[in-house]
Amino acid sequence: MKKREFWGRFRRNKMAMAGLVLVLGMFAVSLAAPWLAPYDPSHIDLKAVLMPPSPEHPLGTDPLGRDVLSRIIYGAQVSLKVGFVAVGLATLIGLIIGAIAGFYGGWVDFWLMRLVDLMLCFPSFFLILAVIAILEPSIWNIMVVIGLTSWMGVARLVRAEFLSLREREFVIAARALGASDVRLMMRHMLPNALAPVMVSATLGVAGAILTESALSFLGLGVQPPTPSWGNILTAGKDNIEIAWWLSLFPGLAILITVMSYNLLGEGIREAVDPRLKE
């Protein structure tokens, strides 16, 4: 599909464009956090404990007097970093395993798909919890663990595409001309199999952000004083009756971010294959 044709279809989807604008806005906020945040997110002010939203603190303060708006802005950096690194790792693993399984078929495909089935037998979130409980909770461990437990869907997508592509005329012609297996996969087949991977990766970012937020909420994710939407929600849970803003605003940040990536992913899916749109 030509880039111009893809962009034309994507641009006509208003919800997808809204998702793209929100995603780009989130990027801008995370990159400009040092300039946008009105306070140091780790600054403790015991004179401003649990202050409700006010001109001085637009989104209120937490139990240590830290500005919630500043912590949410800096928390965007953590969420986007986890989302992209984890999904990048998962996509890379899924591409390699799916490409090898779909290209060679036979017993190679059989055993690699059994590995995928084995991984799918374990509930991903509980597997992540078990690994994080053993390892030291840190942002890098979270990114790696999420990536290592979420590649199976990408592998299945890529395998299905390669099984179809390996019987196409241009692949058969390239093989007849003496192209190596690696060249066939990387040069001729992989570029034609990336469309569903793009959709899966975009939706995967939303899932990774939700997983990181859930882990931080449980105390097994990003550790204080580093701000994360999940650990801000933890403070909200402990003070839900007297500090509603600690639950509302980080919850809205997670909701808007995840919704943005879902809208963007659906827009890419429909632009790649408009027959999917009813």
The model's pLDDT over 98-113, given as tens digits with 9 standing for 90+, comes to 999 998 888 999 999 9
45, part of any domain: no
Q: Which domain holds residue 97?
A: 3-36+62-276
243, part of any domain: yes
* Under-50 pLDDT residues of the chain: 276-278
If you ran DSSP here, which 8-state letter would residue 223 be given? P
* Angle between helix 245-272 and 194-217 (nearest 10): 170
43, part of any domain: no
Cα–Cα distance, 20 to 203 (Å, whole number): 13
Angle at alpha carbon of residue 142, lines to 141 and 148, rounded to 5° = 90
If you ran DSSP here, which 8-state letter would residue 58 be given? T
57, part of any domain: no
Cα–Cα distance, 20 to 4 (Å, whole number): 17
Cα–Cα distance, 233 to 102 (Å, whole number): 43
CATH number at 205 reads 1.10.3720.10
Render 95-114 in DSSP notation, one character per residue.
Answer: HHHHHHHHHH-HHHHHHHHH
What pLDDT is attached to residue 214?
87
22, part of any domain: yes
| 225 close to 78: Cβ distance less than 8 angstroms | no
Number of domains in the chain: 1
41, part of any domain: no
What pLDDT is attached to residue 72?
93
What pLDDT is attached to residue 194?
83
120, part of any domain: yes
Look up the pTM and report it.
0.86
53, part of any domain: no
Cα–Cα distance, 128 to 144 (Å, whole number): 10
What pLDDT is attached to residue 278?
45
Q: Is 151 exposed, middle or buried (0-12, 13-18, 19+ CB in 10 A)?
A: buried
What pLDDT is attached to residue 175?
82
